[in-house]
Structure 1
Amino acid sequence: MAALQHPQSFNLSHPNDPFKPKLYSPTSSKNSKHNPRKTQLVVCKKTTNEEPWKEKKLGFVDYDKGKHQLSVHVSGLRKNDIPKHYRLRVESDRFQKDWTISEVVQRILKLNHWNDIEGLLNHWVGRFARKNFPILIREITQTGSLEHSVHIFRWMKHQKNYCSRIDIYNMMIRLHARHNQTDQARGLFFEMKEWRCKPNAETYNALINAHGRAGQWRWALNIMEDMLRAAIPPSRSTYNNLINACGSSGNWREALKVCKKMTENGVGPDLVTHNIVLSAYKSGAQYSKALSYFELMKGTKIRPDTITLNIVIYCLVKLGQYGEAIDIFNSMREKRAECRPDIVTFTSLIHLYSVCGQIEDCKAVFNSMLAEGLRPNIVSYNALIGAYASHGMSGKALSVFNDIKLNGFRPDVVSYTSLLNAYGRAQNPEKAREIFNLMKQNNWKPNVVSYNALIDAYGSNGLLTEAVEVLREMEQNGVQPNIVSICILLAACGRCSQKVKIDSILSAAKLRGIELNTVAYNSAIGSYMNVGEYEKALALYRSMRKKKVKPDSVTYNVLISGCCKMSKYNEAIEFIDEMMELKVPLSKELYSSVICSYSKLGRLTEAESMFTAMKMAGCCPDVITYTTMIHAYSAADNWEKASALFQEMEMNNVQPDIIACSALMRAFNKGCQPSKILTLAEFMRDKKIPYSDAIFFEMVSACSILRDWRTTVNLIKMIEPSLPVISVGLLNQLLHSIGKSGKIDTMMKLFYKIMATGAEISFSTYSILLKNLLVAGNWRKYIEVLQWMEDAGIQPSIGMYRSIFSFAQKSSGAKYAAVIQERIESFKRKSSYQISTSKLDDSLLLAPASIDAIEALNGNLIQV
C-alpha cells in the first residue's frame, strides 16, 4: 500500500496489466473526515492466476485388456506467461518446446541416468519461469526416482533465475529419506544453510524421518535438540517422527520417553502417535505391553484404524492367542466402513494359520483376499509359500511360486529361500540346490538365510559333508555364517551320529568369533546326548553356566530326556533340582521328561505331584505325558489308576496312540485283567489304531491266560503277513501259547511258516518248541528239531539232550535211549566238553532258561 500524489502517472501501463494498481478515492477512506488534505490511496495487488497450478486427472481404460490408468496433469507457466524478453528469445527458436510440467516429467522418466537430462531441460520454455521449479521438483519426487530428481535439482541450481526455496529442499530431503540415504539428506540440510535458506519445522521433520528410517535414533534426538535451540517449536509430526525413529530401532523405552515429553509439552497424541507406539512395542518384541497399551487406547476418544488392528493381530499371533486374533479379524470384516481388512491383515492371518499347522486355511484366506478385490503383493505370496514350506509341501509351494510370475511379480530372495526350504523339508536336497542355483542365475544374491536353508536341506537329510561344503561356499562368497548356521550344523551332527564333527563345528564357531547362545548350546548338548557322549554334554552345560548363558526349558528337557534314554535317572533328578532352583518355566515336553525320570526311579508320588502341577499350570498334557504316567502306574502294579488315566485322556480329547494302548495292556496283564486287554483291542479297532508287536504280545498273553483258542487263531491270521519282521519276543510268546494249549500240530505249522519266510530263529525259540514237544511226548519230532538246530548252526545245549534221554529211559525203552546216548556222546566230542556221567545234575546248569524267564526277557525287549 502506498500514498501517491500523482496517480495519473500509472496510465502508461497496459490496460490489461494484471499488476495495474487500483485507485481509491479519499472519500471512501474511513479517516477522510480527519484528513483535510485530499489525497488518493493506491493499493498495488498482484492478481494470482491459479489455472496453471490446477491438477487435472486424466484416466485411461482398456476394457478389452482389463487395464486402467489414472494420471495427474499439471500445466505450469507456459510460453505466454514468461517475461517478455524471454518470450522474444525463444519465439524464433524451433528447438524450444512449450511443454507442460507433466510432459517434462514424463520425458525425463523415459531417459536413463546416462542420457542428457540437462539437454532436454534446456529445450523447455518453462525453465524461464521461476515458479515452475518447485512444482517440477514436486512432480518428479512423487514418482520416487532419486537419480532423475538429483539431476534436475543440480540443473536447477545452475539457472540464473533460480532462487533457493525451503520447500524444494524439504522435498529433496524427504526423497533421500525414502531411499535411506541419510548422509545425502544431511548434506542437503547443511547446503540450504549455505544458500541462506533457513530450515523450518518441515525440514527438521524430514531430517528426523531420514535418520529414523536408517535406525540412527540418537542422531534423530540430536536433531530435535538443534530444532529447539533454533527456537522452532516441534509439531505433532516432529514428535511422531522421533518416536518412530526410536521405536523402529527397537528402543521402545526411548520411544515412551519422547511420547511422555510430547504430552508434557502440550502436544497431545493422535492416532498416528498411538500406532507408532504400538509399532515400537512390536519392534521391541514387547507383545504383552502392546496389548496393554491397546486396552488403554480404547479408553480414549481415538478410534483404532486398520493399521492399529494389524499390529494387534501380529502381537496376538506371536503370543499364541490365535482365537483372539481371529475374532479381531472377523470384527474388521463386519465393520468395513471403519477398519477394512487390507493386504497386511490377510497376510498376518495366513501366517497365523501357518503357525497353527492349518495349511488348508492358509489357502482359504488367500482366496478370500482375492474375493475381496485385493491384489496380493509379493509379501502375501511369500507368506503362502512359507506356509507350504514349513510342512514340506514342495509341490504346492512351487505352484504358488509360479503364480508370482504369472501375476506380474518378480520372485525375490524370500520367495526362492522359502521354495528352497520346502524342498529341504520334503527330503529333496538336490532340488533345493537347483532352486539355490536358479536364484543366483536370476541375479539375486543369496543372503545368510538362504545359505542356512540350504545347509539345513543337506543336514536334515544326513548329508553332513555337503552341508559343511555349503558353509565354506558361503564364506567364500562373502556371506558370514551366523549362530543359526552353527545351530543347524550341530543338529545335523546329532542326527548323523558324528562325534568328531560336533567338536569341529564348536571350534569353528570359536575361531569365527561366534558366541554361542542358548539355542546353540541346546543344539550342541542335544547332539552329544544323541551320540551317547554324556560327559561332553555335561561339560558343555557347565561351560554354559560358567559363561552366564541362561539355560531354558529346552536345555533341561534335552538333558533330562537324554539321561532317561541312557538310564541315568539319578543324574536326571539332579538336573531337575537345578532347574527348580533357577525357576525355569516348565514346558509340556519338560513336564513329560521330569515325570518319566521320577517314574523310572519308582518315585510315583513325585511323578503324580508333577502331573497335577502340570494341569494346574494350564499346560494340557499330551499323549506322551499320559503314556508316561500310565507306564508309571503299570510299574507300580496299579492298573486301576492306569485305566482311569486312559479314560481321562479320552475325555480331554487326547487321541491315544499305539504306545499308550500297549502300556495300558501291560498294566492289565500285570494286574491279571486279561479280559480288559481284549476289550481295549476292540477299542483300538474302532478307533483305527494299528496293532504293533507289543500289542500282539499282550493280546497273546491274555488269550493264553483265558485259554481263548479262537481269538489266538484269529491273531495268528493277523500276524501271518508280517511273520518275517515280527520280534523274537512275540514269536516265542505265540509258540508258547499254542503249545501250552496242546495244539502241537498248529504250533509246528506256524513254525514251518516262520522258517519258510526266511526269518532268523533264535536259540530261545527252539527251546520253547522243544519244551512243548517234550510235554506232549512227541520225542520223534523233538529229535528232528534238534537236528534242525545243528543244521542251522545253533548248538543245542546238554540239557536239551539230557531231557530227551531222561524221557527215553522212562517212557521209550532202551532202544531209543541208546540212540539218544549216542547223540549225546557225539555232541560231547564236537563241543569238547568233558562231562562226567556222575555229574548229570550239574549239567542241568547249562540248560536253557525257563519259560517264565524267557517271558520276562521278552517282555523287557518289547519295552525297550
Structure 2
Amino acid sequence: MAEKLALPLLIPSPPPPKPFFQDQPQNHHPTAIPTPPPLTPLLQDLLPQQNPKHSPQTQNHLQSPNPYSPIHRTRRRIGKFRDPNKGKPWSHYRLSPQGQHALQTLIGPGFDFTEIDKTLLELFNSQQQESELYMESLSLDILGIIKGLGFYKKCDLAMAVFDWVRNRNDSELLLTGSVVAVIINILGKDSQVSVASSLLHNLHKDGFVVDVYAYTSLITACSSNGRYREAMMVFKKMEEEGCKPTLITYNVILNVYGKMGMPWNKIMAVFEGMKCSGVAPDSYTYNTLISCCRRGSLYEEANEVFEEMKLAGFMPDKVTYNSLLDVYGKSRRPKEAMEVLREMEVNGFSPSIVTCNSLISAYARDGLLEEAMEFKTQMFEKGIKPDVFTYTTLLSGFEKAGKDESAMRVFEEMRSLGINPNICTFNALIKMHGNRGKFTEMMKVFEEIKKCGCTPDIVSWNTLLAVFGQNGMDSEVSGVFKEMKRAGFVAERDTFNTLISAYSRCRSFDQAMAVYKSMLDAGVTPDLSTYNAVLAALARGGIWEQSEKVLAEMKDGRCKPNELTYSSLLHAYANGKATE
C-alpha cells in the first residue's frame, strides 16, 4: 500500500513569481507573490485611438527644482541604435569628464538617493549650453551613465536616473539613441519584466513611438526570464504597430518558439516570414532552428536545416555541431550522432564535454547503456572529465531501464568525484522512487533539493503530480498543485497535460475537464498530448458524446489525431455502451 503524505508539503523558499504583465507595479522589488491574471494587459493601451496620460508609476522619483515651462510633446521615435560604444563592453572612458564624475558620485558607497537631483543638475549645468553639441553630449552621457549603473548592478538607481531625465520638458532631446532599449535590458537582467513592460506601455501613452530596438529588448527580457507567452505577445504587438523586426528580433522569437515546444510548421512560418520580409538569416538563426528540433526529436528536420545552412554559405561551428548532436541524442540516433562527430573532428573541432554528453544521451536513450558507460570511460582517457549532465543522463537511462541499483551506483560515483547534483539529477531520482511506489524516499529527495542549494522547478512539480495521479491519489494531486501555485509557478501546457492525466487516473473526470477548461481560458493552446489526455479521461468515464466534441475541436485546431486518439474514442464508446 502506498504511503499517504501529509500536506502541505515542506517546500523550499519559492523562486521569484512569474506573473503576467501588471499594469501598475508598486515598486521595483515586490515582496508579495501576486496572483497572475489569466490574460496579461501587455501594451493593451498602446493603440493610437487611446488618450495618452502620464502614469504615476512612471513619474520621476524626485522632481527637479528648476522647472521648465510646459512644451508640446509630439510623437517621436526612441530607442534607435546609436551606441557610442559600437557594441564593445561598457567603459566609463567613453563618458565626458563631467559624465564620469556624475557616475562615480552615483556609484559611490555613501551615495544617498536624495542627492540624485543635485548630482544630475551639476552634470547639466557643467555643460556649455551655447554649444551646438550640448544636447548630443548630454544624451550620450545619460546613455553612458545608465549603462554604467547597469554594469554595476544598480538597477533601481539606473531607473531613477531615467525617470529624472524623462520628467524634464526637454527629455525628447535627451532620450535619443538606445536609452530606452538599455533601461529595458537592465530591468530584464534584474528580473523586473513587469516594470519594463509598464515602462514601455507608459512611454507610448506619453506620446513616444517605441521602435524595434526597445521592443526587441523587451522580448529578450521576457525570454531570458522564462516568460515565453509574454514574449510572443510583445512580438505580435510590435508587428501590429508596423514595427519591422530585425535579425536579432527574429532570432530571439525563434528561440522562444523552440523553448515553448511550438509545432515545427509554426516555427518555419516565422522563418519563412523572416526571409520574405528581406531579413537574411545568419549562422545564429540556423543554430537556433536546429536547437528548436530537440524537444520534438525532429532529427530529419534538423538535418535539413543543417544542409540548408551549408548551402547558404555558412560554415557550421562548434555550436552547430553540438546542437545537431543533441538532437540526434534526444532522437535515439547514436549512429547518426557518431557521423556528425566524425565530420566535426574532420573540420577541426575537438569534442567538448557538451559533445560527449550528447553522444552519451544518444546511447542512453536508445537503451545502449553499456555503450554509454564505455564512452564515459573513454572520456576520462581523452582528458574530458564527466560532469553532472553526464551522470544525470546515465542515471536517467538506468532508471528508464528499471535498473535502480545501477542508477544509484552512478549517483554514488558522481558524489564520490565531488560533483554536486543539479535539479535534473534530483528530478530523475524523484521519478525513479515515485515510479516504484517509494513515496517516502521520493519526498526525502524533494526535501533534499533545498539543502543542496537548488530549487524545485516545473519538472519537479509535474513529476510529483504525475506520480500521485498514476497511483490514484487525488487528494495528493490537489495538494501538490496548490503548493506549486503557492511557490509562484504558473501552469504551462505540460502541467495542464499532467493534471488532466492525473485526475483521469484518479477517476475524477469532472476535475480533469475543469483543468482542460482552465487551460483554454488561460490561452494555452492544446497539443496532441492534451487532446489524448482529455479523450483518455472521457473514455474511462464512458462519456462518448463529449469525446466526439473534443475530437471535432481537435480537428478544428488542425491537430492530427493518432492511433491513441482513435483508441480512446473506441474505449469511450465501449465503456458508454454505445457500440452500435
CA separation in 1, counterparts of 2:257 and 2:482?
A: 36
8 Å Cα contact 1:236/1:267 also seen in 2: no
What TM-score does the superposition give when structure 1 sets the normalisation length?
0.44
Match of 1:314 in 2: 255
Match of 2:159 in 1: 221
Residue 460 (structure 1) aligned with residue 396 (structure 2): no
8 Å Cα contact 2:107/2:149 also seen in 1: no
1:305-337 superposed Cα distances (whole Å, 9 cap, x missing partner):
3223323433444362533432443355566xx
After TM superposition, the structure 1 = structure 2 runs for residues 265-304 of structure 1, keeping only pairs within 5 Å, are 269-298=210-239, 303-304=244-245
What TM-score does the superposition give when structure 2 sets the normalisation length?
0.62
Match of 1:547 among 478, 483, 494: 483
1:256-275 superposed Cα distances (whole Å, 9 cap, x missing partner):
34445666888754443333
Query: In terms of Rg, which structure is larger?
Result: 1
Structure 2 CA distance for partners of 1:463 and 1:253, relative to 1, 3 Å:
same
**How big is the shift at 1:391?**
0.8
1:676-706 superposed Cα distances (whole Å, 9 cap, x missing partner):
xxxxxxxxxxxxxxxxxxxxxxxxxxxxxxx
**Equivalent pairs, count:** 454
CA separation in 2, counterparts of 1:577 and 1:144?
A: 54
Structure 2 CA distance for partners of 1:559 and 1:262, relative to 1, 3 Å:
closer
SS of the aligned residue for 1:489 comes to helix
After TM superposition, the structure 1 = structure 2 runs for residues 242-281 of structure 1, keeping only pairs within 5 Å, are 242-259=183-200, 269-281=210-222
Match of 1:633 in 2: 573
SS of the aligned residue for 2:178 comes to helix
Match of 1:683 in 2: none
Match of 1:624 in 2: 564
1:187-235 superposed Cα distances (whole Å, 9 cap, x missing partner):
99x9xx9xx9999755664564466468764354356468889999454
Structure 2 CA distance for partners of 1:465 and 1:320, relative to 1, 3 Å:
same
CA separation in 1, counterparts of 2:345 and 2:557?
A: 49
Aligned amino acid, residue 505 of structure 1: V
**How big is the shift at 1:545?**
4.6
> With CA pairs under 8 Å and 6+ residues apart, which has the higher RCO, 1 or 2?
2
RMSD, aligned CA:
4.8
Structure 2 CA distance for partners of 1:214 and 1:454, relative to 1, 3 Å:
farther
CA separation in 1, counterparts of 2:153 and 2:379?
A: 29
**How big is the shift at 1:490?**
2.4
CA separation in 2, counterparts of 1:490 and 1:615?
A: 36
Aligned amino acid, residue 502 of structure 1: M
**How big is the shift at 1:243?**
1.8
Match of 1:325 among 244, 249, 267: 267
CA separation in 1, counterparts of 2:539 and 2:198?
A: 53
After TM superposition, the structure 1 = structure 2 runs for residues 197-596 of structure 1, keeping only pairs within 5 Å, are 202=140, 205-206=143-144, 208-209=146-147, 212=150, 217-218=155-156, 220-222=158-160, 224=162, 233-259=174-200, 269-298=210-239, 303-317=244-258, 318=260, 320-333=262-275, 338-436=278-376, 448-472=388-412, 474=414, 480-494=420-434, 501-502=441-442, 504-506=444-446, 508-509=448-449, 512=452, 516=456, 519-527=459-467, 534=472, 537-538=473-474, 540-545=476-481, 547=483, 549=485, 552-560=495-503, 562-563=505-506, 571-573=507-509, 575-576=511-512, 579=515, 588-589=528-529, 591-593=531-533, 595-596=535-536
SS of the aligned residue for 1:218 comes to helix
CA separation in 2, counterparts of 1:432 and 1:275?
A: 42
SS of the aligned residue for 1:374 comes to coil
CA separation in 1, counterparts of 2:468 and 2:202?
A: 53
SS of the aligned residue for 1:351 comes to helix
8 Å Cα contact 1:243/1:276 also seen in 2: yes
CA separation in 2, counterparts of 1:596 and 1:352?
A: 29
**How big is the shift at 1:466?**
3.6
After TM superposition, the structure 1 = structure 2 runs for residues 748-787 of structure 1, keeping only pairs within 5 Å, are none
Aligned amino acid, residue 488 of structure 1: A
SS of the aligned residue for 2:367 comes to coil
1:576-617 superposed Cα distances (whole Å, 9 cap, x missing partner):
476478667776445545545555555544555555565566
Structure 2 CA distance for partners of 1:348 and 1:440, relative to 1, 3 Å:
same
CA separation in 2, counterparts of 1:383 and 1:517?
A: 24
8 Å Cα contact 1:392/1:425 also seen in 2: yes
CA separation in 2, counterparts of 1:582 and 1:143?
A: 45
Report which stretch shifted further, 345-354 or 371-380.
345-354
8 Å Cα contact 2:468/2:477 also seen in 1: no
Structure 2 CA distance for partners of 1:295 and 1:223, relative to 1, 3 Å:
same
CA separation in 2, counterparts of 1:469 and 1:410?
A: 30
8 Å Cα contact 2:509/2:541 also seen in 1: no
Aligned amino acid, residue 418 of structure 1: S
**How big is the shift at 1:378?**
2.3
Match of 1:19 in 2: none
**How big is the shift at 1:246?**
1.9
- Ranges in structure 1 where 5+ consecutive residues have no aligned partner: 1-140, 150-164, 174-181, 564-570, 641-864
Structure 2 CA distance for partners of 1:367 and 1:510, relative to 1, 3 Å:
closer
Structure 2 CA distance for partners of 1:329 and 1:458, relative to 1, 3 Å:
same
Structure 2 CA distance for partners of 1:211 and 1:428, relative to 1, 3 Å:
farther
Match of 2:72 in 1: none
CA separation in 2, counterparts of 1:452 and 1:265?
A: 52
1:139-165 superposed Cα distances (whole Å, 9 cap, x missing partner):
xx999999xx9xxxxxxxxxxxxxxx9
CA separation in 2, counterparts of 1:236 and 1:392?
A: 49
**How big is the shift at 1:295?**
4.6
CA separation in 2, counterparts of 1:144 and 1:443?
A: 35
After TM superposition, the structure 1 = structure 2 runs for residues 668-679 of structure 1, keeping only pairs within 5 Å, are none
CA separation in 1, counterparts of 2:243 and 2:205?
A: 19
CA separation in 1, counterparts of 2:157 and 2:539?
A: 60
8 Å Cα contact 2:364/2:393 also seen in 1: yes
8 Å Cα contact 1:201/1:234 also seen in 2: yes
More helix by share: 1
CA separation in 2, counterparts of 1:444 and 1:186?
A: 43
After TM superposition, the structure 1 = structure 2 runs for residues 71-150 of structure 1, keeping only pairs within 5 Å, are none
Aligned amino acid, residue 554 of structure 1: N
Match of 1:176 in 2: none
CA separation in 1, counterparts of 2:513 and 2:268?
A: 40
Aligned amino acid, residue 392 of structure 2: N
CA separation in 1, counterparts of 2:571 and 2:145?
A: 67
Structure 2 CA distance for partners of 1:294 and 1:431, relative to 1, 3 Å:
same
Match of 1:712 in 2: none
8 Å Cα contact 1:432/1:457 also seen in 2: no
8 Å Cα contact 1:462/1:496 also seen in 2: no
**How big is the shift at 1:343?**
0.7
Aligned amino acid, residue 371 of structure 1: L
